Amino acid sequence: MVRQATSENHQEIIKLVNARKIYQMGTEQVKALAGVNITFNKGSFWAIMGPSGSGKSTMMNILGCLDRLTSGSYYLDGKDVSRLDDDSLSEFRLRYLGFIFQSFNLIPQLTVQRNIELPLYYLGWDARESAERAKELAEKVGLADRVGHRPTELSGGQMQRVAIARALANDPHVIFADEPTGNLDSTTGEQILELLMKLNEAGKTIIIVTHEPDIAKHAHSRLHMLDGQIDRIEGNSK
């Protein structure tokens, strides 16, 4: 299976084949994903959209290796990750993925620098090298003068920049952004989006989950979900 997968197109970074995710809610079965087939290419910029309950969060969790499919397959960079155990999924998250959340999800007791260093800590980098990298990344997101501050001393936009820097620390293949501008005013949101677009131009694959069309329009392609299935796809899937 792995060999078959690796023989496929090098442009593909993410591929779902007949992906199903079924939750048992009491006696009822909820089909959060009801047989999804889709391929995302390297360097693409996607927005996953849909009303609440459409399965877009489940989609995000599956793609982000935070959850496993009930059936079907998920190929990440050509490797089938749908049957991996918890440790291996953690390893994939650590090496391939970066996350940005609506509520920033910075660790409040750690400084900006320590927050950015977090993935490097788990990658086993030594303290000096990770400090250097964290400072570089802070500079990249425009927060070079804030590395010693704690998240609570920052504005929402600044916190999200820290989160982006942290998501970049492990040089991920794919960056997932779950409503990244949801807690920000429109101007700051715009700046964050610009930052993401710049990252995309630099070659990162970016997948945003949002229900706001204004945000989604910045993406190259839009995937509309409805009742656990793909409703439609807009834009050019580069």
Partner 1 sequence: MRQTRIARNIWLGIENLLLHKLRSFLTMLGVVFGVGSVVAMLSVGEGASKEALEQIRKLGSNNIIVSSRKSAEEEATSTQRSHMSVYGLTYEDYRRIASSFSNIQQTAPVKLTRKDSRLRERKMELRIVGTTPDWFKLVPREILAGRVILKSDQEKQAPVTVLTEFGARKILATESTIGQTIRVGSDQFEVIGIVKSESGQAGNIQIPDQEIDAYIPIEVARRYFGDIFTKRTSGGDESEMVELHQVIVQVDDPKKVEAVAAGIERMLQQFHKKQDYTVSVPLALLKQAEAMKRRFNIVLGSIAGISLLVGGIGIMNIMLASVTERTREIGIRRAIGAKRRQIVFQFLIETVVLSTIGGLIGLGVGTLIPFLITYFSGMITLITWKGILVPLLISMTIGILFGLYPAVHAAKVDPIVALRHE
Q: ∠176-177-181 over CA atoms, to 5°?
A: 175
Beta carbons within 8 Å of 18's beta carbon, 6+ residues apart: 35, 36, 37, 71, 72, 73
Structure tokens at 113: 């620098």
Least Å from the CB of residue 94 to partner 1: 3
Site string for partner 1, 91-130 (x = CB under 8 A): xxxxx-x-x-x---xxxxx--------xx--xxx-xx---
Nearer to partner 1, 163 or 225 (CB): 163
Position of tokens 């997948």? 207
Least Å from the CB of residue 129 to partner 1: 12
Least Å from the CB of residue 214 to partner 1: 24
* Number of residues written out for the chain: 238
Give the C-alpha distances (Å, rounded to integers) separating 15 from 42, 59, 111.
11, 12, 37
Residue 183 binds partner 1, judged by CB under 8 A: no
Q: Of 98, 44, 61, give the one whose Cα is nearest residue 206.
A: 44
* Number of residues counted as binding partner 1 (CB under 8 A): 29
Residue 234 binds partner 1, judged by CB under 8 A: no
Count Cβ atoms below 10 Å from residue 2 Cβ, excluding itself. 10
Least Å from the CB of residue 81 to partner 1: 13
How many angstroms separate the CA atoms of 176 and 105, rounded?
A: 13
Least Å from the CB of residue 189 to partner 1: 20
Least Å from the CB of residue 48 to partner 1: 16
The order of strands in the sheet holding 79-80 is: 28-41, 12-25, 71-76, 79-80
According to CB under 8 A, which one of 41, 160, 170, 205 is a site residue for partner 1? 170
Strand-pairing partners, residue 71, are 20
Give the interface segment with partner 1, choosing from 19-27, 90-98, 192-200, 203-211 (CB under 8 A): 90-98
Furthest CA-CA distance within the chain:
54
Nearer to partner 1, 119 or 222 (CB): 119
According to CB under 8 A, which one of 24, 86, 202, 203 is a site residue for partner 1? 86
Nearer to partner 1, 28 or 86 (CB): 86
Q: What is the DSSP string of 97-116?
A: EEEE-TT----TTS-HHHHH
Please give the residue ranges that form the binding site for partner 1 (CB under 8 A): 61, 64, 66-67, 86-87, 90-95, 97, 99, 101, 105-109, 118-119, 122-124, 126-127, 166, 170
